[in-house]
Amino acid sequence: MPQTATLTDADVADFRSNGYLLPHRQLFSPERLDTLASIFDEHLSDKGAKLSDELDTPHFRDPRLLDFLLSDEVLDLVEPLVGPDIALWTSHFISKEPFTGRATPWHEDSAFWNGRLSAYDGIVTVWLALGPSNRSNGCMRVVPGSHLEGGFHDNYVPTDMSTQTFHAQIPDVDESLAVDFELERGEFSMHDGRIVHGAKPNTSPVRRTGYTMRYFPASVRVMPVEQNAGWKIWLARGRDSAGNTYENA
């Protein structure tokens, strides 16, 4: 059975200081992991004109994913970092195809949500490896402690989207500081929404596939702005104190 005990005090302290955790343990049982991987395969085969790294918010369309996103296996890990009142912000299937998977430029997730939330210092992402994720196939890389800079770097520069997954990046990142998130299938990482991170392209014959699950404190207000029109959130655990409107689980 997977080890899904809650985080230790040392884990929480490390996360606050470094902005990430690499527990190197399985998140779901083998059977549940296989089910989730099968759901991903369905979404990949039905993606149409989308690129394989553009499968955003699949749970909006597929309620089967809520069985994973709202599960105790995940929420018991998130609660020590977010608190007892947890809202589901978003999820994303990420697939970098063999040899052709684009690089992910250096960025912080919070920059893409600027103005959409009332606070950004409590957002936690769980990154689950649906297959091996390593240096050769473009695993995620982070700059430890960069979340403490406050987020919202103002010096983004344009990228070439034929080779990069985003339109802009943070320049002049000291890559010698980067930590590679090498994961076996079924292992997970956790990171702060403000940490600077990216990934190299997939130069291997092995597809890199992950599922990101993102959560924020239910004391944070989802702002009534145009970018949030039609956006769906779920109260994953506890109570709301921000006046948000949630979907029914």
Q: How far apart are CA 32 and CA 186, in angstroms?
A: 10
Q: How far apart are CA 85 and CA 238, in angstroms?
A: 4
Tokens linked to 84: 């007892």
pTM higher than 0.85: yes
Helix (H) or strand (E) holding 72: helix 72-82
Residue 49's pLDDT is what?
A: 59
Residues of the chain with pLDDT under 70: 1-5, 48-54, 150-152, 249
Residue 4's pLDDT is what?
A: 52
Residue 2's pLDDT is what?
A: 45
Number of other residues whose CB lies within 10 A of the CB of residue 223: 12
Residue 54's pLDDT is what?
A: 57
Nearest C-alpha neighbor of 18 from the set 214, 216, 192: 192
Per-residue model confidence as pLDDT tens digits over 117-170: 999 999 999 999 999 999 999 999 999 999 998 666 778 888 888 788 777 888
Q: How far apart are CA 89 and CA 22, in angstroms?
A: 21
Residue 165's pLDDT is what?
A: 78
What is the dotted CATH code of the domain comprising 9-237? 2.60.120.620
Residue 112's pLDDT is what?
A: 86
Integer angstrom CA distances of residue 240 from 59, 118, 214: 21, 14, 17
Integer angstrom CA distances of residue 244 from 3, 144, 247: 33, 32, 10
Phi and psi angles of residue 185, each rounded to the nearest 5 degrees, phi first: -55, 130
Residue 50's pLDDT is what?
A: 58
